[in-house]
Amino acid sequence: MRKIRTQKSSFAIVCGIALLFSLGLMAVPGYGQSLTGSWVIEGKTLDNGEQPKSIVELKQDGSTVTGTLKTLGYSVELKGTATGNHFEVFANWSTTRPFLAGDLVNGELHATERGRNPIVAKPSTSADAMPLVPYIEPPPLHKIPYNGLAKTPPMGWNSWNLFAGKIDDQTVRTMADAMVSSGMRDAGYIYVNIDDTWEGVRDAQGNLQANHKFPDMKALADYVHSKGLKLGIYSSPGPRTCAAYPASYGHEVQDAKTFASWDIDYLKYDWCSARNIYKNDALQPVYQKMGEALQATGRPMIYSLCEYGWGSVEKWGTEVGGNLWRTTGDIRDEWSSMIENVEKQVPTAPYAGPGHWNDPDMLEVGNGHMSNDEYRTHMSLWALVASPLLAGNDIRIMTPETKAILLNKEVIAVDQDSLGKQASPVKNGDVETWVKPLADGGVAVGVVNLGSSAAQTTIHASDLHLGKVKKARDLWEHKDVKFTGDGYSATVPSHGVLLLRVK
């Protein structure tokens, strides 16, 4: 009798599980025990009225956790650990900051995403599945001619580092005003670039419209142009941008025409959700498609590739019509992130030159989480590696120190040098020496102290292969300095820089 009852109850359990399967609830993770399962995060309502979801698939094996996070905008592979109810999982681009970190609480994941956004993930159901997108074959490869732009690294301002999703027409206008009144424009910062979250929805003809935050993009471009500045915009080769807004997949020609009709001067084209459709072998043809579409409009637009350096972009970026390409993941306003990004430039050095630049991401100078010494190092390194100089701070309220960094014309001149060479470093313990050859036959030399205490350094003229030094100038002190014999010695503060121009 007892045996029969057990069989009956086992049968009931099996039926119960089958029912859960049919309801799509089988992904329910082991409450309180394991992270294994499929979880859904309800997204915030976007500025175009849509409310996208994200799905996190996790597998826990002892203390090891692996999985993926998929949003409409991108997907990330995750790897990390769980201890008790606490877990931390990392994307492959950062070993220091978890992509998701949090706790399993009453069958829900309460976590922080990328150290910033609090999220709650609940067990997902089949109703949460991502929409299916038809595959579009990438075009055959052919070379897109140079558009003649960006003979020196592009300079300007971009909305993302400071505002992320909180950017609108009015803010862009006041920022354009400040670019003029602060002297940024006259120092060469010309492009005012709107990053992600400007997008609305497509109209009946498939034309992408801006959302309510940008009521008239053409009028905004007219305003920015009236200030002697240029306007940049942002999209993705995937169906969605990284922030999950509609993007250019299957609409490349149409969107390029829209951007041209708004008098846009610069496009940042961010891989994002293209990753949910293509592998890295499609990067080049997919970027070529938009390169071609931009040129077909007849309007000169700088073409900025943003695919985090995947697929050795530095080797083919020019062939798709690119003027610059990101070589790294996203910068953060932190010393370690800034240094990590610039060090990733080292193998890309031979590929920089007039018209085509490696891009270690936008500046964080003035955003408040690094010291002024660190920001001076940031600016010096970006100039030495001939990086685009796209300020990412609030130009309207700069401190005198921030102004002195961003508006240092002697450092800007190193970045904008017409020879277009990218510096490479020589390491000596905690001290790195970066040397950039300049068009006048001289060099810029930056000595960076990565250590936690001040370092004494000597620059030897013989190491710079310059013969006798006729003139040397400290570009932060704004004064000429003297080499005695072969050398010049100075003390470099922790995380600080000595930047000389030597001839």
Catalytic residue set: 270, 330
Our CB check for ligand GLA shows the closer of 330 and 486 to be 330
Q: How far apart are alpha carbons 302 and 224 in whole angstroms?
A: 16
- Shortest Å, Cβ 195 to ligand GLA: 5
- Shortest Å, Cβ 190 to ligand GLA: 19
> Among residues 330, 410, 463, 486, which is the contact residue for ligand GLA, using CB under 6 A?
330
> Among residues 72, 82, 184, 242, which is the contact residue for ligand GLA, using CB under 6 A?
242
- Per-residue x/- track, 259-298, ligand GLA (CB under 6 A): -----------x----------------------------
By the 10 Å C-beta count (0-12 exposed, 13-18 middle, 19+ buried), 375 is classed as: buried
Give yes or no for residue 195 binding ligand GLA (CB under 6 A). Answer: yes
Q: How far apart are alpha carbons 336 and 46 in whole angstroms?
A: 32
The 8-class DSSP code of residue 138 comes to: P
Q: What are phi and psi of 418, to 5 degrees?
A: -70, -20
Give yes or no for residue 340 binding ligand GLA (CB under 6 A). Answer: no
Only segment of 116-124, 176-184, 238-246, 457-465 that touches ligand GLA (CB under 6 A): 238-246
Our CB check for ligand GLA shows the closer of 196 and 415 to be 196
Q: Which residues pair with 122 in a beta bridge?
A: 40
- Shortest Å, Cβ 122 to ligand GLA: 24
Task: Quote the tokens at residue 439.
Answer: 């068009």
Give yes or no for residue 50 binding ligand GLA (CB under 6 A). Answer: no
Task: Quote the tokens at residue 334.
Answer: 């932190």
Give yes or no for residue 500 binding ligand GLA (CB under 6 A). Answer: no
Our CB check for ligand GLA shows the closer of 54 and 433 to be 54
Q: What are phi and psi of 293, to 5 degrees?
A: -65, -40
> Among residues 35, 109, 243, 256, which is the contact residue for ligand GLA, using CB under 6 A?
243
Contact 321, 337 (CB under 8 A): no
Indicate the SS3 state at residue 331.
Answer: coil
Give yes or no for residue 191 binding ligand GLA (CB under 6 A). Answer: no
- Per-residue x/- track, 16-45, ligand GLA (CB under 6 A): ------------------------------
b or e along 19-58 (b: 16 or more beta carbons within 10 Å of the residue's beta carbon)? eeeeeeebbebeeeeebbbbbbbebeebbbebebbbbbbb
Our CB check for ligand GLA shows the closer of 163 and 375 to be 163
Give yes or no for residue 196 binding ligand GLA (CB under 6 A). Answer: yes
Give yes or no for residue 364 binding ligand GLA (CB under 6 A). Answer: no
CB atoms within 10 A of CB 412: 21
Task: Quote the tokens at residue 417.
Answer: 């040098």
Give yes or no for residue 328 binding ligand GLA (CB under 6 A). Answer: no
Q: Quick one: residue 211, left, alpha or beta (phi over 0 = left, psi -120 to 50 = alpha)?
A: beta
Which segments within 347-416 are labelled E, that is strand? 357-359, 389-391
- Shortest Å, Cβ 148 to ligand GLA: 25
Indicate the SS3 state at residue 223.
Answer: helix
Residue carrying the six token digits 């038809």: 134
Collect all residues with Cβ–Cβ distance below 8 Å to 203 and sequence separation of at least 6.
209
- Per-residue x/- track, 131-170, ligand GLA (CB under 6 A): -----------------------------x----------
Only segment of 77-85, 240-248, 421-429, 464-472 that touches ligand GLA (CB under 6 A): 240-248
Q: Which candidate, 152, 161, 184, 229, places its Cα nearest to that of 408?
A: 184
Our CB check for ligand GLA shows the closer of 46 and 386 to be 46
Give yes or no for residue 247 binding ligand GLA (CB under 6 A). Answer: no
* Sites of contact with ligand GLA (CB under 6 A): 160, 195-196, 241-243, 270, 306, 330
